[in-house]
Amino acid sequence: MTDNLLTGLMMDDFQLTLTTLVERAERLSPTRPVVSRRPDGSLERTTMGDCVRRARRLAAALSALGVGIGERVATLLWNQAEHLELYYAVPLMGAVIHTLNPRLPPDDLTYIAAHAADRVIVVDESLLGVLESVGWAFKHVIVVSRSGAHPVGSLEYESLIASARALDWPPIGERRAAVMCYTSGTTGRPKGVVYSHRALVLHSLVAAMPDVHGISARDVILPAVPMFHVNAWGLPFTAALAGASIVLPGPRLDPVSILDLLESERVTFTAGVPTVWMSVLEALDAEPDRWDLSALQRVSLGGAALPVSLLEGLDRHGVTVVQGWGMTETSPVGTMCLLPSELDAAPRDAQHEYLARQGVPVPFVELRARDEDGELVPWDDRAMGELEVRGPWVVAGYHDGTDADKFTADGWFRTGDIVRIDPRGCIRICDRSKDLVKSGGEWISSVDLENRLMAHRSVAEAAVIAVPDDRWGERPLAAVVLRDGMQATPEELRRHLSIEFAKWQLPERIEFVRAIPRTATGKFKKTALREQFGSGLAA
Ligand code: AMP
């Protein structure tokens, strides 16, 4: 007989799969509302139970179309009920849901779909134009269509569900892939992150803790972060785990639509990027008495730095804001900043100074920072270094093994964020070593913009930096050196860029300079450019 005190086999080797979370919601909280706003503004009301029942039929239909274990089902959808059904159906049938970001340029979408080898795509009818620009032959295209009309050769979502019988979820192991998401690469090509069932279950569990999002069965969650951004920060899974209700805002994330939903659905918890909440604050300031937000307990902001003005502004309206830090590579929750009890009696300013930090690591996430010489920096709130993290929902490698240099030999992920860590373990992001601009929560590759600019016949050199922007957090600024005797206007350069870049990615500011400062090794010295232009004074 084996000695189980030595082998540690006293407990059930229970597999941590999303199946357990979703079946729990189906069985224990089937009447929980799922509210979805349609593009015409109308609200569709269903329940968690209905959502999972439809997910079972959807899974059977996908299976009949040949989607097998581990195969990718792509989505081009907004925050809508069908997306939630796919979030549950695809991983539970053993396949992998791959959420595509419709705002990416066609070239990136084509690369991503091909790299992930997506077999099927489910697309909202409002995004058929985006799908047309994707140069990848999906085996099947399934259209979510409110009128029932759909292009020749495609399948229609509702008829597929109507014609299928419910699938019994197959047993799957916890380390199986469940979801896939691509993140921007510094040199242009996006990198695939694959989330396992186990990672997402553990992430959901910790996300629900009081010092993280604080989600219970009494909550009504409105993910104001797109479901194509790191699984809407895992909220659809956290909702299933906790038995919470969910409100999906559809394609529109404008402030009035969000505020209307927060009020009408008595939302208790919402999350998103600061840009969206800057506009919400403007709307609240303009009409302070229009909305009743008495049900709202917490707004979790992340994805970009939280400006103190936003914190103070929302505070004035009685809205509690907490900030978290995370990445596509960290599922995403890595740190969370809630006020420690020692600061309860501190002046408001001191509290805000603390709350504007990115926070302490959540349970199971470990962090450290290393300086340029590779030495670990002390936790003294002064020394700066690149943040490294590890934990059960932190990637150990990208899909296809790309960018292996992001992982240290001893198993840590190098984030590219430059931080200070205080003695409490609370981080402050001070800079980014990765060459990217984050505008309104979406990435723009400065290296790609530079390469394209330098392909213009009048341009000798170009360097792109992020400059602070009140509305979008950051915007790209291009410093350009023209070739001797050559001319170009900013409009002409923007036109040249627009061949490859989406409109929102084009720099408003193109500054002509005589030379671009260089480091000792001959690289563009972006810190010097940031000093020159970063204050926004050189506009
Ligand atoms: P993504 O993979 O698109 O979610 O982007 C992750 C990156 O966004 C991080 O590496 C940071 O550079 C940035 N980021 C995320 N959260 C914050 C935050 N709270 N403050 C500042 N930057 C953040």
Q: Tens digit of pLDDT for each residue in 185-230?
A: 655 588 999 999 999 999 999 999 999 999 999 999 999 999 999 9
DSSP category for residue 221: E
CB-ligand 1 contact for 386 (6 Å cutoff): no
CB-ligand 1 contact for 415 (6 Å cutoff): yes
What is the pTM assigned to this prediction?
0.90
pLDDT for position 536:
45
Atom of ligand 1 nearest to the CA of 415: 10
User: Is 442 among the residues known to form the active site?
Assistant: no
Tell me the per-residue pLDDT of 438-487, one tens digit each, with 9 for 90 and over.
898 888 888 889 888 988 999 988 999 999 888 898 999 999 999 999 99
Residue with tokens 């409109």: 503
The whole-angstrom separation of Cα 46 and Cα 267 is: 16
Residue with tokens 């008829």: 159
H or E segment and range at residue 298? strand 298-301
The whole-angstrom separation of Cα 418 and Cα 387 is: 6
CA-based nearest residue to 251, from 106, 120, 82, 113: 82
Lowest mean pLDDT among 233-242, 288-297, 305-314: 305-314
Residue of minimum CA distance from atom 7 in ligand 1: 327
Determine the distance from the C-alpha atom of residue 327 to the mean position of all C-alpha atoms in its chain, rounded to a whole number: 7
- Say how many Å lie between the CA of residue 423 and the centre of ligand 1: 22
Same domain, 512 and 457: yes
Question: Is 178 inside any structural domain?
Answer: no
Residue of minimum CA distance from atom 6 in ligand 1: 327
Test site for ligand 1: of 327, 406, 419, 446, most ligand atoms within 8 A of the Cβ: 327
Tell me the per-residue pLDDT of 40-72, one tens digit each, with 9 for 90 and over.
899 999 999 999 999 999 999 999 999 999 999
Same domain, 512 and 448: yes
Lowest mean pLDDT among 138-152, 372-386, 454-468, 515-529: 515-529
> What does the mean pLDDT of the chain come to?
93
* Structural domain containing residue 502: 437-533
CB-ligand 1 contact for 433 (6 Å cutoff): no
C-alpha distances (whole Å) from 285 to each of 277, 311, 472 are 12, 13, 19
Same domain, 428 and 497: no
Test site for ligand 1: of 429, 432, 433, most ligand atoms within 8 A of the Cβ: 429
CB 97: neighbour CB atoms within 10 A?
25
Same domain, 518 and 443: yes
pLDDT for position 357:
96
Same domain, 446 and 523: yes
CA-based nearest residue to 312, from 350, 344, 346: 350
Q: Residue 396 belongs to a domain with what CATH number? A: 2.30.38.10
The whole-angstrom separation of Cα 476 and Cα 9 is: 55
Domain count, the chain: 2
User: Is 443 among the residues known to form the active site?
Assistant: yes
Same domain, 410 and 466: no
Q: Residue 466 belongs to a domain with what CATH number? A: 3.30.300.30
Beta strands 384-390 and 43-47 are: unpaired
Structure tokens at 56: 């079972």
Of the residues 402, 417, 432, the one at which a domain ends: 432
CB-based contact 53:169 (threshold 8 Å): no
User: Is 183 among the residues known to form the active site?
Assistant: yes
User: Is 438 among the residues known to form the active site?
Assistant: yes
- The residues, ordered by sequence, that sit 6+ positions from 373 with a Cβ below 8 Å of its Cβ are none
CA 435, 437, 441: angle at the middle one, nearest 5?
135
Test site for ligand 1: of 108, 438, 445, most ligand atoms within 8 A of the Cβ: 438
- Say how many Å lie between the CA of residue 164 and the centre of ligand 1: 41
Residue of minimum CA distance from atom 9 in ligand 1: 327
pLDDT for position 233:
97
- Say how many Å lie between the CA of residue 326 and the centre of ligand 1: 6
- Say how many Å lie between the CA of residue 332 and the centre of ligand 1: 9
Q: What is the mean pLDDT of residues 370-385?
A: 93
Find the Cα–Cα–Cα–Cα dihedral 132, 136, 139, 144, rounded to 10°: -30
